[in-house]
A and B are shown apart, each in its own frame.
Chain A
Amino acid sequence: MQFYKSDLLKYISGSISDADLIEKLTELGLEVEQSKKEKNDLLIKLDLTPNRGDCFSLIGIARDVCAMNNSKLKLPKFKKQKQNLDSKKTVAIDKRACSSYQGQIIKLKSKGIIPAYIKKTLKAADIGQVNPIVDITNYIMLHTGQPLHAFDNKKIGKKIYVKFPSKRTKLKLLDGASHEISKDYLTISDEKKIIALAGIMGCANSEVDETTQEIFLESACFEPASIRGNARKLGFQSEASLRFERGVDREIQEYAINFAGQLYAEIFGGEFSTIFKQSRQHKAKKIMISKEFIDSRLGTEIPATKIIKLLKALEFKVESKRNLMELTYPSHRYDIEIKEDVIEEIARIIGYDNLPNKRLKLLASCPENASIEKEMLSKDIFVNAGFNEVINYAFVDSSFIQMLGLNNDPIELTNPMSSNQDIMRPSLLPGLLNNFEYNFNRGTQRFKIFEAGNVFSKEESWKSLAGLLFFDKSSSDWSGSHQSSFFDLRKSLDMFFSRLNIEPAYKKASINHLHPGLSAEIKLKTKSIGNIGVLHPAIQKKLKLPNIVLFEINLDSIKLPKINSIAQPPKFPGSERDLSFLVSVEIPASDFIKELKKAGGTNLRSVSVIDVYQGKGIDESQKSMTFRLFWQASGTTLEDKEVDLFVANQINHAAKIFKAKLRS
């Protein structure tokens, strides 16, 4: 809603400075989106919330300002025009959809010329001039909030029906476009045809123009429920539908038609018929509310007299009944339905800044959400490990996903912003790869980035955590200690798992987007929880990317660590042995270690790999692995003989399981 201050001041007594008015409007909840000084006036643009349909009119806005000012709304009175035009019309309405319909036939005596003040009001509201007949209807709508419609009376019949059509119908509206409407559209019809979509727009078949000599002026109240959404379905919104969807004052129809009568008489000169009326008895809504309830919800002590005065200024009817107030809602406020709505009115007029504040003492104790905690912990760990967090959009390009081979039944958006954001991400990796490309092209040479967030398939969504590692060779410095191999990223992941107190296994696997020899599936017991590896060389080539290492794990499949007891470390000295085995290159170290542990007795504390060798001196199908084993008992010093026994056992076991030979 956009208007000049001078138009608003017609309804307000006393003067008010520009700054004061803007502040008042804002405090009333009528947000001033823009204000602009123009000549001796101020152009104000309000950003109205959808509940305040009544403020799509100057009178409505002025009413609020007056209530806050504690002054009386200045409402000009319009007399009925002399009704001596003998012309007849009958009106029949669907009373559920239309609470009141009033119409008057006006015979225009001359060609009207729109005065400057009307032009100014229309211009402020950004409503273009159409012709003098229509301009007057728009002018009155801006003042009263009542959309009027002028039909060319020669183009319509004697009978006017407000009704829903019996079948789908094609029609041409005033905007020149043809539309097909369903039976849900309330129409204004005569004996033969639809002449307007009620509350939305008139039809071309009854349009007024410069040559129109006699109009049928409609001032009606259509129910919001019968209008709502219908204009939008046709792809537009009209000034009328904007107001009817939010609710037009149920009692302003006659005021508006008389207002119009005066202007048509002034500008055109005219003869007027009687006003043809149909209406349903509208029972104004009432509610009982107590001062105590108001105070209990606002935390206030407001005197009852103040409440009553304030509500009356907003045109509520107030009757005191014992300890309660019986309120009758004003006819222009569709948004007020319950007690809390009344409380809002009181708070709004008093001003929220003037209400008290009180310390909340409530302490509710519910268990913390583990999933949020886990996400935060994961972020902490990776940030501490030197990773930079990124946050990507949750929608990605389906063709990119397909190219990466990540296609796990993605879920498509019906209305994406663009074709490269058409599906919900099934993985965080596309985002990380985009981040890589963006930053690599801008000169970043070292990448340790990660993201935590939801990923989606058609059936479910889960929390994912993914990371990317890449150091460009030219980024290395004199220390030469930075590398970005598979194992460098795995080290970070190992640390993460160890912080979460889990020990998943890395199993060789074939994963579409990863290098088959430099990748692993990450398994927790039998469950796959993610993967890690070097980006597949074929993808590297296609995307012109270097040797990037990536991982992604399903955070939902990991539990937060349980609290363990902390055991006292053994006090007695331990025993260390190194063993070298020759074994097939196919045997993973992790499997070998598992078997060494099995055969090493309960006092075997650790097994580490201190050397792996393949090459000269060893058959191609074999590798040499050297393990360092450490035994320690908790209650006694282990004797060499005991350890020898375990070692012998391990050598036999390894020979049996892996055909491993001890190297001398």
Chain B
Amino acid sequence: MVTTAEPTAGQVAGRRFRSARGIVLVLLCVIVVGVVLAALKPSRKPDDLDPGSPKPGGTRALAEILKSRGVDFQASRSAADAAPRAGAGTILVVTRSERLTRTDLERLRGSVGDLLLVEPGRETLAALAPGVEQDGPTFVLQADPQCNLPAATLARTVEFGQSETYTVPSGATGCYPESGKPRVVQYQSANRTVTVLGAARPLTNGELTTEGNAALAMNLVGARSHVVWLIPDIHHESSGDRAGDRTLTDLLPRGVKLFFPGLLVAIIPVALWRGRRLGPVVAEVLPVVVRSAETVTGRSRLYRAHRARGRAAEALRAGARDRIVPLLGLPRTLAQVLPAQDPGAAREVVTAVAARTDHDERTVAAALYGLAPGEAPQGGAPGHPGQPATGWGEPADDAGLLALADLLDDLERQVRQS
């Protein structure tokens, strides 16, 4: 038999998931790929490798040490400025080479003097160190020289962190290899020494004191008495490239520029189409209807909020008496007579109930009239005439009220069955 039961919340959720799982999967893939790419790409701050920056990523410490040792240290902010300064007997340190344009690279290639390329990109390598190529990154922190380059052998172990490795052209020296691929490559070109350094970390303020980092940095950078430290700014005025002056609108093709006003205009008929209704919305004039038992539930909440156990108990007792008394064959009017008014009547009821149930008179008197066990109306003495009716036999706590309700139910049931 096929049942067409209401789908449970779980089934509905499952169906919604199945219908949307394609989108969810694509979104997840995008997120995962994005996270992986972001994790792989080393984060660079604008002032990393800046010889003026005292931050952990800056190179001010190295610059100051070199200056104090009598090395002529010049920082340069553009290739156009650096190229003429790099004459014979100087070493040009090229950092942040990703900011260099093709024109810049042409200029640098025309310079004379030694070159130290720090984390060069593909284009920079091709332009300034032809023959050396990137050979994949390595993530092993430290490495030993394993070559006979004096700068390296003097520095011994160096901490590179994440580093690029390079191929070694013939006639070049490769140092600090990881599974055969060196992190540092040095070779002699026609008239100059070109050194490629795979990681900037040995030069930075933060890591200069680690292992042999300082030694390697001093040996590589301070190899000549004049140092030109090139850290290019992006789109520098003097770079000669005017691309930076063009705004976004200049760069957009004409078709795209026309597309957006077209889209804006298209919104108008769509809005008018959706906005025009086929006739007015009709409001139903609903009659005001209140739940009839609202006053009763309201009173119940009031009782509860004020813990009016006395009043609640009195109401329960009055109701029970009203049902029990006619069952006993006594006049109904007797039900609402309180012991204070007529102890005899109360005693009569208590005796009759006790006779028909397995409870004794004291319990019955306590249940039906709220009299304390000692006050059971046996001696005919009136209870406390001065005490208000509601004050009698107020249950001490909520459990007492619950117990009273159960006791009254039990009395009524036993009287009914007798």
A, B assembled together: no
